[in-house]
Chains A and B, each alone.
Chain A
Amino acid sequence: MSFTDFAFTRHPIENMLVISAIIFCAGLYTVMTRKNAVSILMGVELILNAANINFVTFSQYLPTHGIDGGVFSIFVILLAAAEAAVALAIIIGIYQNFGRVDVDVADTMKE
């Protein structure tokens, strides 16, 4: 095992997948541990980015299906934009009603 066995230029897919796995897990951890709604949104963005890296990697290095992966990554970016807009509007709404943006304050529907 030498450095060449792990070099990006020799094994690009594995390198990209490992990066994306780490980013995904960081996003997962963020989503699970944070109380602040904006932080949770950041975790979701990390997860979406990790998925996007996988799409682009397979699309660019194994294009048996052409550029479908690239198209999907564009869709994911657009959906992330829509999701962020709506989520932040909801967060602003929570802030107006409760004075905080912690997700555990917005449980009034339980009562």
Chain B
Amino acid sequence: MGTEELLLNAVFYVFAIGAVAAAIGVALSPNIIRSAFALLGVLFSVAALYAFMRADFIVAAQIIIYVGGILVLIIFAVMLTHKITDVNVSNESAHGPAAVFAVLCMLVSLCVIATWMWKWDRSAPAESPAPAVVTLLGDSKPSTASVSMALLQGDGSTGVVPGGEVRSPFAILRYTVTSASARAQSAHVTLECSERIENQPKPEKRWAPWGQVRETTLALADGKGSAEERFSGLKPGRYRWIATFADEKGILVLVKHVCPTCRMEGEPRAVCSTPDCEHKGKPLVTQPWEVQGAEFTVEAGLTRPLGVALMTRYLLPFELVSVLLLAALVGAAYLARKEVKEA
């Protein structure tokens, strides 16, 4: 474990212990004002934990909404409704059973975690994750495939973020850098592809089923730095993806389905539907998909994917939440207003 990693762990444990200690402080402090300030500590420490997970937008939301909004409201309520000198407010009789119940809950959750432990990230990276969005720009028809990939781990494994639609037979689920020499300009990369069409009667052998592994080579567009350092964490920037796909003999091909005459593209097993094409009604032909030179950009951070998700897939829940917030605002103002006594 290097110095950097040790330092990262140390800082993490400072915040982790801070969060836990402050949470226990909230639970046990007899003074409600101290509880409120301990809650401040919890909220800030949790924001730091989000930062460790590189969820930047959630850090900002946590600090602005929780610390800036909710906590200030709570402290206001404490100050408005409470005499500072009057501190003993807890319910003494319930402490024993409640403590037993909380400890039991704790044990159950720890057991669940222990059962699943080591199963989630056996090949855990030496770094914390670097969520980055990889968008395939593409100069030719890969532009139809705007693939968004979130960098999952520091070792280059990725997952696909929904929002990028792939109009291709493949979705690249994740890729792993299997070998990259220190000075090389390219890395040997394992691609885990999936087929978008399921239950195909006779799957063509050139297509990988779910989870099948393909290998390719990624090279850097600008030729700067070694592949090892660049692909272990893909810094924001523009990259060129020089993909050599191989079939069963060693040449992998990313295929697309086109009509041989009118070049119409479509789903696998589709038929040509161009009105005046002589191949109309006949199945499309599988062709290698030219992806050499496709470029992709890497953006760090969660802000953009979150914004895209909130404006597309989660638009209705998002609007409902905004209506709910408005209703809560009006309701709170109505509840808290003082009755005007008539003379």
* A and B co-occur in one complex: yes
Residues on B with beta carbons closer than 8 Å to the beta carbon of A39? 32, 35, 89-90
Inter-chain contact A32/B309, CB cutoff 8 Å: no
Most chain A CB within 10 A, of B70, B82, B91, is at B70
- A15 surroundings in chain B (CB, below 8 A): 12, 16
Decide if B77 touches A38 in the complex (CB within 8 Å): yes
Chain A contact residue count (CB 8 A cutoff): 77
Give the residues in chain A near B139, CB-CB below 8 Å: none
Contact with B along A53-70 (1 / 0, CB 8 A): 100110111111111101
Taken together as a complex, chains A and B put the C-alpha atoms of A61 and B54 apart, in Å, by 10
Residue of B nearest to A20 (CB): B109
Enumerate chain A residues within 8 angstroms of B74, measured Cβ to Cβ.
38, 41-42, 45, 84, 88
Q: Which of A19, A53, A60, A85 contacts B131 (CB 8 A)?
A: A60
Interface membership of A71, Cβ < 8 A: yes
Can you add 18 more A-B contacts, CB < 8 Å, to A28-B105, A33-B91? A7-B1, A9-B12, A10-B124, A22-B24, A25-B106, A26-B23, A29-B98, A30-B35, A35-B91, A52-B62, A60-B129, A61-B53, A62-B120, A63-B131, A66-B309, A78-B65, A84-B69, A88-B77
Q: Is the CB of A60 within 8 A of B333?
A: no
A106 within 8 A of B: no
**Do B117 and A32 have beta carbons less than 8 Å apart?**
no
Known: A22-B20, A39-B35, A46-B26. A56 touches B128 (CB 8 A): no
Chain A residues contacting B80 (CB-CB under 8 Å) are: 92, 95
Residue B224 interfacial (CB < 8 Å): no
Q: With both chains docked as a complex, state the minimum distance between the C-beta of A87 and any C-beta of chain B, in angstroms.
A: 9
Chief secondary structure at chain A's binding surface: helix
Q: Closest 10 CB pairs between A and B?
A: A82-B328, A89-B335, A32-B98, A89-B332, A26-B23, A21-B109, A89-B336, A29-B102, A63-B159, A26-B27
Query: Are B90 and A12 closer than 8 Å at their CB atoms?
Result: no
Could you mark each residue 26-62 of chain B with 1 if its beta carbon is under 8 Å from any beta carbon of chain A, else 0?
Answer: 1100001001100100110010011011110110011
- What's the Cα separation between A36 and B338 when bound, in Å? 22
Binary contact track A13-24/B, C-beta < 8 Å → 1, others 0: 111111101111
- Encode B181-221 as 1/0 by CB contact (under 8 A) with A: 00000000000000000000000000000000000000000
* Given known A7-B1, A77-B65, contact A19–B110 (CB-CB < 8 A): no
User: In the complex, are the beta carbons of A28 and B101 less than 8 A apart?
Assistant: yes
User: Cβ of A49 and Cβ of B310 under 8 Å apart?
Assistant: no
The answer to whether A12 and B53 have CB atoms under 8 Å apart is yes
Closest A residue, CB atoms, query B327: A82
B117-A11 in contact (CB<8A): yes
Is B19 in the interface zone, CB < 8 Å from A? Answer: yes
- The stretch from B226-234, B262-270, B282-290, B317-325 touching chain A is B317-325
A19–B161 touching, CB < 8 Å: no
B12→A8 contact, CB < 8 A: yes
* Nearest CB of chain B from residue A75's CB, rounded to whole Å: 6
State A78–B162 Cα separation when bound (angstroms).
Answer: 23
Q: Are A9 and B5 in contact (CB under 8 A)?
A: yes
Cα-based distance from A21 to B314 in the complex (angstroms): 28
CB-contacts of B1-31 with A (<8 A):
1, 5, 8-9, 12-13, 16, 19-20, 23-24, 26-27
The answer to whether B46 and A52 touch across the interface, beta carbons within 8 angstroms, is yes
B335 CB contacts on chain A under 8 angstroms = 86, 89-90, 92-93
Residue among B77, B106, B302 making CB contact with A22, cutoff 8 Å: B106
| A61-B152, A75-B317 given; A14·B98 CB < 8 A | no
Query: Which of A59, A62, A89 gathers most chain B CB within 10 Å?
Result: A89
B39 and A46 form a contact (CB under 8 A): yes
A93 to B131, CA, bound (A): 45
Q: Do the beta carbons of A9 and B128 come within 8 Å of each other?
A: yes
- A64 and B150 CA atoms in complex are apart in Å by 10
- Select from chain A the residue with minimum beta-carbon distance to B126: A9
